[in-house]
Every structure is written in structure tokens, then in C-alpha cells.
Amino acid sequence: MSAHEKSRPTANGMLRHLIGAANALRAEMGAEIESLGHEYSPAASHLIVNLPTEGLGMSELADRLRLTPQRTGQLVQNLESFGYVERVPAPEDGRARRVVFTDRGRELIADIDRIDEHYTKLLVERLGPERFARLCEDAEFLDRAFREDDELIDLRR
């Protein structure tokens, strides 16, 4: 990092740190998820946190993930192979398919919730409650600024 970057915050510097922190935290949490007998990949986790309890149609899911329908289909197929999600007929149109969690997927979500609670406590201890809350608010604000009207998914069910 140049002296210039140290003296003046930049978008690039911010991205580097956000990605670094997210990757480190994701790797630690992923290792815990795997230790509980789950298959885990960062790509799969991206889909999991963007799939609401009631499920979504494939095109809605692709839009939410900001991926092509083909890539979304690959992620869904991967999670289907592990038994976490399935494609079921959409209630409003039996020809359309909806991606929903299976019982095993709901078990994964419950384990993710427990791991999330542990890491939330850890981050609050390291940062302090006010700084952690501010970081969460700023991250949400930044996310919404670029993702506009996307509904954020709360995994706590």
C-alpha cells in the first residue's frame, strides 16, 4: 500500500479491506459449517443467503444474485446434488419452477444461524457493540446504495 493510500481513504482501499474481511470470515464460518457435516462453498453460500424461506422462481433468483440464469441454474443444481434445495412447481403457475429449501437445507440454515450467533458475539467483543452496530449499518447502507430495492434476507427463522 502506498503512502498516498494510507493518508486518504479510497474506494479501492475500502473494497480491498471489505473483501479481505469478508473472505476471512467466510472461510472461518465455512470451516465450521463443514465440521458439522455440511458441504460448503462461497458460491453456494451466496445463493443460500439470498433464498427466502418461501423460495423463489429461477429468474427472480438470478436477478437477486445478479447472475445469469445459466450460472444460477448451476448453483441450484449444485445445492440440489447435496440435498439442500429442490425445484418444485410454483403455486401460481404449475409449469414454472420454484427453488425451495429441503429439510436438509433448513437444517443447514439452523446451523448457519448458530454459527452466525457465535461470530456476531465474537465481532461485538472485538469491535465493541457501538462500532459493530455502526459497521453493520454502514455495510447495509452501502449494499442498498448499489443494490437499490433488493429485499435483504434475514436467515433467522
> What stretch of H or E contains 142?
helix 129-147
Checking DSSP bridges between strand 56-57 and strand 93-101, what pairing results, if any?
antiparallel
Give the global pTM: 0.78
**Count helices and strands in the chain by DSSP H and E runs:** 7, 3
Q: What is the pLDDT of residues 67-121, one digit of tens each?
A: 999 999 999 999 999 999 999 998 877 778 899 999 999 999 999 999 999 999 9
DSSP 90-121: ETTEEEEEEEEE-HHHHHHHHHHHHHHHHHHH
* Mean local confidence (pLDDT), 124-147: 92
Which sign, positive or negative, has the C-alpha torsion 74, 80, 86, 87?
Answer: positive
β-sheet bridge partners, residue 98: 57, 88
CATH number of 3-147: 1.10.10.10
Q: Give the strand order in the sheet containing 85-90.
A: 56-57, 93-101, 85-90
> Residue ranges of the domains in the chain?
3-147
